[in-house]
Structure 1
């Protein structure tokens, strides 16, 4: 604040042209007023300043009023402002302010210097007041505690400290005043530049949005055109097969017509010989006819040996796995803020603030990050997102922050191992009468886990940390369950029915009406929005390793959509009789756990029999599989099988069944398994065990 704007102690008090001018003589005060001049007792005289115009005090329609007169509910126009008291003063209060001994040394602003907004001045005054003793001003700086103190603080708590008076720092302030002003200007300029940069960034990313959407639409159009081309190719192939078979069949028909005409002639010859010929002619005719008939038999046998063919379609693209045609990513490039122009003090403060901000989980830390939208296209040949392609795409998204270092590549599940130290989470509760026997595990969309406890006839809902939240008692022993159409389906041992639970909005289970079944269900799997059920035709013991008369059903709630049995001709699919678990691979394939092997079969809802076995996985080398039970599938199409008796868990690729291994060894009687792909972990439940075992996958190479 410039000294010209201050009114020093004993300075002249300026007069305004009032109609009734007050007059004070020297005996009453050091200051007296005349018509046009203000004369102090020391003899100095200044020209009176007229009242501040409205524009000097603020807007043209706003006038400041005396704060002291407001106490008496008076609206008197202010002509001065006391910096020390932070009050507006009218003419009379201003005169009294200069008379009183306590306030006569205060600094008064008048005329053009009258502030329009007193808040900054009030804020400055607050800085001067001591936080501990608000009635005292700050006068000292404690060097040992790096804090400002008043005289009372110095007496009470800092008597032994080294201190320095604020007044002694004026020269240091004057030296740094220019630097502080320059830093303020720099910060102001940087904020303006940041705002301009952010406005430009919004325009850039909006343009990138349009470009990315256009590219995605163009890529989708290419896919459509490619699909149309491939469809035309399929149609041409089908037409070619059809033309070939029709041509061959018509040629066979023509040959059959010729044979028919020939047999008619022979028949006429035979009848004529019988009617008109003598014995010799009959013998010769008979020999001739017998020879011709044998020749016709040979020809018709050749025609009949032609194998009838049927045109079938094998879908290479699994639509339910085609989740995306491209990946949209935000690739950030961290911009370094321009701190090089800041002073050392400002740099030090900014660094302190950065260290403080790094401790907070706030999104504003990224406000200086520029991002580019990019599209990673996939399925260029209109193929299913297979494990290798998907893992490669994911690998491209997992990058090291330092681009100079090689990127961390996310490996496919089939190439990963599990970490040796598994977490064991207790799932038993105080009201359990027996040890838990986990026969099924499923993860819900909200991240919670549901387990079936066979021994205690319950299903239990676990939190994300595998803490038991709720229990649901059942009439029988649950042996399997699945989630389909936003419902949980459960089958129990020796019960011909399916139980159904609805999933509420908060993730709790609400029991809904179940429905009876014709046979005994022993295993369930979701099939689109339906349920795939493995049933025994006769009540039997699930734990035995013996043949069962099995049937497979697809149920849309209580409605039976399809039913399959094994093919009996020539003993096909004899291993189906040993099936104890079922799982859906895709809309056309199922997996059956069959004691010492698991097999993948094709199914067609238009047929009654389980169709061709596509592949199977069984014991080989040291990878022993005995009493296959729980099965699970990860997002890349790899299958996990529990060997209850072999005490291990196997992993095999459904795309290349020769690629399999034992992923978990030396685990006591594993019966159920679940893959939590969202958290890269494998969850295993065992027989008569009060825990579930959580194995984390090795994520990166």
Structure 2
């Protein structure tokens, strides 16, 4: 095969000048270290002192194509990661737009008809910022796609050149490859330091008193978080301080709480599902209960929107999902979905509910329509316990209590990996942070461990029994307070780990 000629597509790709696409690369300007066509030389390198024909100067010069091939693949992987995060950023803008729009509507309900003009102004500002953000993100995606396409072609060309005695083309491939790598590295360097943008709405609490002194309902804020932090799911969390908070309701001292589910909702408020007291509680910033509603909690809780959560529930042998909304600082029960199986773990991603039955994982729509049974293990016991979904939705993490395991599934339910560790005994709660960091509760080992995004290796032990853990069953992160909150089996106190 080494004696076969290059295909026309490879030859055209390697020889074509990136600037003057109708011309072929024939020379090298050593003053600028650039491959040139005749038009490049005429327009940009006329005064350069060292412009050499490739065929004359580099006929016998060796080129390390394997090293080039490896470098191209490394850069291509980085571009793929950036591409995924940019796609996720677009989705994040849309989700936050919807959530902020709901907040705007809630503020609007408190005001009279005179707010119509203010609402229009505010929504226009929101729309303009969304359009601006999406335009920039789409531009980044297009540039990323172009670089990936060029690197793919270059990779194919290098593979075809390997083993062939074609020094001219090898040299061109090498120089062109280094140029493409330099472009890609510059693009990656520029984009990784950019921020991942979302939208938020800060309502003006004095607007009712000074209604006609303001032009908008509130301020649209672009929340910014560095991609170096947001995009590193394998960054190990380091605990700086550990605190305990008693979240028991006064006059209810006879019953010990069992915090089997925790999630963060709008304005970074914390909502906990108490399986012992059979209620869902809203906590303030000091971890005190400020509102609650009675629910026959059977398992976990997850956020649906900026003001709504869903909790698995059971009434006798009737199983389902109870939706609860936050309105004016109060928890209100909403609609309920009846399901035909036991409901334990629950997670929400991109308009889909992931529900476990202790032996299977199901995917539902928000209206309760069964879309697919993703995974099942009927070997007995709690083999499919709690679940969590990665920020991009490509991985689903499930705990196997019986086998002390964490399972990682693809979005279609294919088993990708199985993780075990001596510090993970009777795995229960599992949580994925906004950055993609995976946290798992070891109930019997009294541990919270962090696992890599692939679900294959332990990155660290976040907390142990010496930190106050005693039967951890649920875990959740709060990026607003840089903390990890842990619920425990029949414990009124929760553990807050500051990271």
**Which bracket does the TM-score occupy, shorter chain normalised?**
0.5 to 0.7
User: Which one of the candidate residues 234, 242, 258 is aligned to 1:437?
Assistant: 258
User: Which one of the candidate residues 533, 536, 542 is aligned to 2:355?
Assistant: 533
What is the CA deviation profile of residues 513-537 of structure 1, one whole-angstrom value per residue up to 9, with x for unaligned ones?
A: 212111111110012122111125x
- 2:194 is matched with which residue? 326
Tell me by how many angstroms 1:220 deviates. Answer: 5.8
Tell me by how many angstroms 1:230 deviates. Answer: 3.5
Within-5 A mapping of 1:165-314: 221=139, 223-228=141-146, 230=148
**Distance in 1 (alpha carbons) for counterparts of 2:333 and 2:250:** 21
User: Which one of the candidate residues 570, 582, 587 is aligned to 2:393?
Assistant: 587
Q: Secondary structure at the match of 1:414?
A: coil
- 1:500 is matched with which residue? 323
User: Which one of the candidate residues 539, 553, 567 is aligned to 2:363?
Assistant: 553
What is the CA deviation profile of residues 206-228 of structure 1, one whole-angstrom value per residue up to 9, with x for unaligned ones?
A: xxxxxxx9999789646413324
Preserved CA contact (<8 Å) 1:440 1:685: yes
Q: Secondary structure at the match of 1:578?
A: coil
User: Which one of the candidate residues 268, 290, 303 is aligned to 1:447?
Assistant: 268
- 1:626 is matched with which residue? 425
**Distance in 2 (alpha carbons) for counterparts of 1:695 and 1:462:** 16
**Distance in 2 (alpha carbons) for counterparts of 1:328 and 1:454:** 37
- 2:461 is matched with which residue? 662
**Uncovered stretches (5+) of structure 2, i.e. residues with no partner:** 1-130, 157-190, 198-223
- 1:482 is matched with which residue? 302
- 2:438 is matched with which residue? 639
Tell me by how many angstroms 1:231 deviates. Answer: 5.9
What is the CA deviation profile of residues 244-279 of structure 1, one whole-angstrom value per residue up to 9, with x for unaligned ones?
A: xxxxxxxxxxxxxxxxxxxxxxxxxxxxxxxxxxxx
Tell me by how many angstroms 1:628 deviates. Answer: 0.6
**Distance in 1 (alpha carbons) for counterparts of 2:269 and 2:133:** 38
**Distance in 2 (alpha carbons) for counterparts of 1:217 and 1:456:** 49
Q: Secondary structure at the match of 1:521?
A: coil
**Distance in 1 (alpha carbons) for counterparts of 2:326 and 2:483:** 24
Larger radius of gyration: 1
Change (3 A) 1:517 1:422: same
**Distance in 1 (alpha carbons) for counterparts of 2:139 and 2:420:** 44
Tell me by how many angstroms 1:601 deviates. Answer: 0.7
Preserved CA contact (<8 Å) 1:436 1:453: yes
Within-5 A mapping of 1:19-418: 221=139, 223-228=141-146, 230=148, 326-327=194-195, 385=227, 387=229, 390=231, 414-418=235-239
**Distance in 1 (alpha carbons) for counterparts of 2:496 and 2:153:** 50
**Distance in 1 (alpha carbons) for counterparts of 2:405 and 2:286:** 34
Change (3 A) 1:231 1:528: farther
TM-score, L = length of structure 2: 0.53
Tell me by how many angstroms 1:662 deviates. Answer: 1.5
Change (3 A) 1:527 1:231: farther
What is the CA deviation profile of residues 363-411 of structure 1, one whole-angstrom value per residue up to 9, with x for unaligned ones?
A: xxxxxxxxxxxxx998xxxxxx565x757xxxxxxxxxxxxxxxxxxxx
Aligned residues: 300
Tell me by how many angstroms 1:634 deviates. Answer: 1.5
TM-score, L = length of structure 1: 0.39
Q: Does 2:401 align with 1:598?
A: no
